[in-house]
Amino acid sequence: MSYIKKTLDAMAYNKMNVFHWHIVDDSSFPYQSAAFPLLSEKGSYDKRKYVYSPGDVAEVIEYAHQRGIRVVPEFDSPGHTTSWGKSYPDLLTTCYNNETGSPDGTYGPIDPTKNFTYEFLQTLFQEIVDVFPDEYFHIGGDEVGFDCWESNQDVLDFMDQHNITESKYLESYYIQRILGIASDLNAKSIVWQEVFDNGVELSADTIVQIWKFGRRKELNAVTAAGHYTLLSQCYYLDRFRYFGGDWHKFYNCEPLDFSADNVSQYDLVIGGEAAMWSEFVDESNVESRVWPRASAVAERLWSPMNVTDIDEAATRIEEHYCRLRRRGINAQPPNGPGYCV
């Protein structure tokens, strides 16, 4: 909690106004659900120490609100859900050994063929909408492995019955249904770009988050289809390079640097997101990895396209680094050896 608050403090110092809280993933389900308490009890690293209680979540939302920051949660599915299955294995797809035709002891993505899946998500989404006041929440849709679905005869039979010819269209079927659940709850959705790429029918207010390479082509495709988009592909803070000037690559990435079919498409690019994933980051190093590298992202996103001088930006980044240090943020040196007055 203390490091989340420090992140929010630093975000405010950098004019970043949305905290995308990827609060659950394969490895852990720390969100303590009132409707499904077993999710965190069995799916978190430790049900006493490593969970976010309802009080914790409310505290983060209010702390962010006081700093002009929205909190947008992500409950990613149908992939990235291994931790969900610790308490509700029926949610996940049973994987089979292709040679023996018997279960191999593992589970894959959420099973999109069961009514239980959608009843469960209806209840969970209702809770998310009640707990998080923002009009948007992120429903995920990225990095879905299809091997398990394709090994399960029940899933294959379902696909045949519904004339679904490929696994990516099965994912689209699932996403379409949960988008409907969110819409029925008057919630607006953010999705990862695979959802758009796979041809899911999206409402006009759905935001497509671009994270894969080939951003210019994707930016044009998404906006040409009339959808809002959020760029994070070139702002992945976890892609860390030791050598000095690591922030240059973020500063040089302009969201509007793509060839649009129509000039009105540029109005649909609503912002960018600096993303820090935690495979190799925890409370011991998150501050220094994020700051002031994310400051370069903030300046790019708040600056006109013609403000591109790296040398001038380096002076501002250095000054801001020292400002962050004085305010208690454990930022790392941005430009090599030096000192703060």
DSSP string, 1-21: -HHHHHHHHHHHHTT--EEEE
DSSP SS3 for 164: coil
Residue 204 is given by DSSP the state: T
Helices (H), the chain: 2-13, 38-43, 54-65, 115-131, 147-151, 153-161, 167-184, 193-197, 215-224, 248-251, 286-290, 293-302, 310-326
Which domains, from first to last, does the chain contain? 17-189 (3.20.20.80), 204-333 (3.20.20.80)
pLDDT score, position 243:
66
246: its two tokens: 């690591």
Tell me how far apart the alpha carbons of residues 87 and 29 are, in angstroms, rounded to a whole number. 10
Q: Which residue has the tokens 């920051």?
A: 69
319: number of CA atoms within 13 Å, CB side? 6
CA distance 32 to 29: 8
Q: What is the pLDDT of residue 188?
A: 97
The question of whether 299 is a catalytic residue gets the answer no
Measured distance CA(114)–CA(93) in Å, rounded: 10
pLDDT in tens, the chain (341 residues): 999 999 999 999 999 999 999 999 999 999 999 999 999 999 999 999 999 999 999 999 999 999 999 999 999 999 999 999 999 999 999 999 988 889 999 999 999 999 999 999 999 999 999 999 999 999 999 999 999 999 999 999 999 999 999 999 999 999 999 999 999 999 999 999 999 999 999 999 999 999 999 999 999 999 999 999 999 999 999 998 776 679 999 999 999 999 999 999 999 999 999 999 998 999 999 999 999 999 999 999 999 999 999 999 999 999 999 999 999 999 999 998 999 98
Q: Are 270 and 229 in contact (CB under 8 A)?
A: yes
Q: Are 144 and 109 in contact (CB under 8 A)?
A: yes
pLDDT of residue 245: 72
Alpha helices in 38-166 (DSSP H): 38-43, 54-65, 115-131, 147-151, 153-161
Contact in structure between 294 and 287 (CB atoms under 8 Å): no
Helix, coil or strand: residue 228: strand
Active-site option among 143, 194, 218, 318: 143
Q: What was the pLDDT predicted at 268?
A: 98
Tokens 């859900």, located at residue: 81
- Distance, C-alpha 271 to centroid of its chain: 14
Distance CA 137, CA 129 (A): 8
- Residue 334 has phi, psi (to 5 degrees) of -90, -25
Q: Give the H/E segment covering residue 197.
A: helix 193-197
